[in-house]
Amino acid sequence: MSKIVAQVVEGIVEVKSADGEVKILQQGDILMPGDTLITSEDGSVVLAYLNETTVIAENQTIVISDSWLQTDVAAEDSVVDLNSAEGILAILDEEGDLLEQLEATAAGGGGSTENSGNSFVRLTRVVELNDATLLAPGTFAATEPLAEAPVAAAIAADDAAVVQPAIVQVDNITADDIINAAEAAATITVTGTASGSIIVAGDLVTLVINGTTYITTVQADGSWSVDVAGSDLAADTDFDVVVTSNDGSGNPVNTTSSSSHTVDVIADAGTVTVNNITADDIVNATEAAGTIAVTGSATGGDIAPGDVVTMIINGTTYTTTVQADGSWSVDVAGSDLAADTEFDVVVSSSDALGNTVESTTNSTHTVDLAAEAGTINVNNITADDIVNAAEVAGTITVTGTATGGDIAPGDVVSMIINGTTYTTTVQADGSWSVDVAGSDLAADTEFDVVVNSSDAAGNTVTSTTTSTHTVDI
């Protein structure tokens, strides 16, 4: 007699007998029809029977039925023998019918229920008369016994019930039947239905996806569901769902359906650009003390208006969003840009399936916070550098040079002598000159000459020198 044996037991699996006794299933235990098998969240069991094995996964409740152990049963014809010769002769002598000697149930009937279909009865009557003299004229006594011979009626009944075809359906794997990156990293519940005359609640549903076997059972309403690793579904886009049922004779019958889906786990990055931080891409002292609008663009790939643009400059996080035309702009402290001359700009986007992507670019700029002072020389105020009475009464041309550093032609040269401000400019050769009242020079024998310059970044610098002379009037 076939047995159902627990071949491999993992985790906690309980078995409840028909009389209500519950125990923990152990490897080698034998299950009986009427037992209820209950697997826990981490429990599973491999059952061996009829030279086959079945895996019962976690969180399942399976009732063991007699059909699990049924094999093919050969149909047999019912044969009724009439072995009484005397009975045969009496019936024939009275012009009777041998069929009346058969059991009433063999003469027809059945098929009266709504779904029972039609019944057919095939009858065979056999009477052998082997002696031809029985047909010759003459008389004979009926009391003479005839040799007994069987009269057989062979009856076969066919019941062709209305059969609903078995159908297995698989729902969309996800809402859009496309697995994205987030879904591939999670668990996806695969669902469907199984219907038909031979499919009943408790039938096993088996799916092999990416080499992993997933098993569940058909529910009372015909639905079924099983949790599948998203990574398996991402790796295997076409798989079969097999429902194992029993036919009317207890033979296992597999009903199969195929499922296919699409995988899209990558969003496309776009292009991010950063414009010059300033007009010359150099942050000067004035700009470092203010606020600078950092601007750029983000286009292509899955970048869309509203996507967040992020940059970390000198430890401070600045964010903005992509505009409808693909541009973006954010105000940044000049001091942060002066302290951090290289930073990344990151645009965070997602595609229609929910896959995310970051589009990144790097920005660099220069900082120049100070212009360089040059060298100023003042020539002798007079030929002997002494202002005499005649020179005091006139005008004296004060001359000198301004070179080096960020001093450039056109820079203003200024000096305050005896309270009067005198200005001129640096010439192309670096020289400068200015007419000063001799009386001011006679009254003020020491004064500063200042040249105001700026560098290419716009930083300003003052180059200064002091001039002294003597007065003898």
- Counting the structural domains of the chain, the total is 4
Give me the pLDDT at residue 97, please.
52
Listed ranges 44-48, 145-149, 285-289; the one with the highest mean pLDDT? 285-289
Characterize 156-174 residue by residue with b for buried, 16 or more Cβ atoms within 10 angstroms of its Cβ, and e for exposed: ebeeeeeeeebebebeebb
364, 396: one domain: no
294, 342: one domain: yes
Is the confidence at residue 150, as pLDDT, over 90?
no
426, 344: one domain: no
Please check whether residue 45 lies inside any domain of the structure.
yes
The per-residue pLDDT of the chain, averaged, comes to 84
385, 465: one domain: yes
Please check whether residue 234 lies inside any domain of the structure.
yes
User: 3-class DSSP state for residue 188?
Assistant: strand
Given 263, 281, 302, the domain boundary residue is 263
DSSP 185: T
Residue 110: pLDDT band with limits 50, 70, 90: very low
Q: Give the closest residue to 213 by CA, choosing from 61, 55, 38.
A: 55
Q: Which segments within 107-156 are labelled E, that is strand?
A: 119-121, 151-155
Tens digits of residue pLDDT in 427-461? 999 999 999 999 999 999 999 999 999 998 889 99
Q: Which segments within 196-341 are labelled E, that is strand?
A: 204-209, 212-217, 223-229, 238-246, 252-260, 262-263, 271-274, 282-284, 291-299, 308-313, 316-321, 327-333
More confident call, 262 vs 54? 262
Give the CATH number for residue 450. Answer: 2.60.40.10
330, 415: one domain: no
408, 432: one domain: yes
Please check whether residue 326 lies inside any domain of the structure.
yes
Taking the whole predicted model, whether its pTM rises above 0.75 is answered as: no
Task: Name the percent of the chain in helix, strand, coil, to the closest 5.
Answer: 10, 45, 45
Tens digits of residue pLDDT in 83-96? 444 554 555 555 55
282, 238: one domain: no
20, 53: one domain: yes
Give me the pLDDT at residue 74, please.
37
In the block, residue with structure tokens 């996507």: 307
Is the confidence at residue 379, as pLDDT, over 50?
yes
Given 314, 345, 368, the domain boundary residue is 368
Average pLDDT on 374-387 reads: 97
Average pLDDT on 152-178 reads: 72
340, 417: one domain: no
Give me the pLDDT at residue 98, please.
46
Please check whether residue 359 lies inside any domain of the structure.
yes
Give me the pLDDT at residue 367, please.
96
Tens digits of residue pLDDT in 181-220? 999 999 999 999 999 989 999 999 999 999 999 999 999 9
Assess contact for 64 and 32: CB atoms under 8 A: yes
Please check whether residue 235 lies inside any domain of the structure.
yes
176, 222: one domain: yes
Strand 386-388 with 151-155, pairing: unpaired
Please check whether residue 135 lies inside any domain of the structure.
no
Helices (H), 279-386: 285-288, 334-339
Is the confidence at residue 81, as pLDDT, over 50?
no
Is the confidence at residue 326, as pLDDT, over 50?
yes
Please check whether residue 411 lies inside any domain of the structure.
yes
257, 309: one domain: no
Listed ranges 31-45, 150-164, 239-253, 403-417; the one with the highest mean pLDDT? 403-417
Q: Give the closest residue to 230 by CA, choosing from 257, 216, 209, 259.
A: 209
Please check whether residue 427 lies inside any domain of the structure.
yes
Q: Give the closest residue to 455 by CA, choosing from 372, 334, 374, 365.
A: 372
Residue 156: pLDDT band with limits 50, 70, 90: very low
CA distance 444 to 457: 37
**Percent of the chain whose pLDDT exceeds 70:** 80
Given 35, 66, 97, the domain boundary residue is 66
Assess contact for 412 and 456: CB atoms under 8 A: no
User: 46: domain range?
Assistant: 4-66
350, 275: one domain: yes
Average pLDDT on 246-260 reads: 89
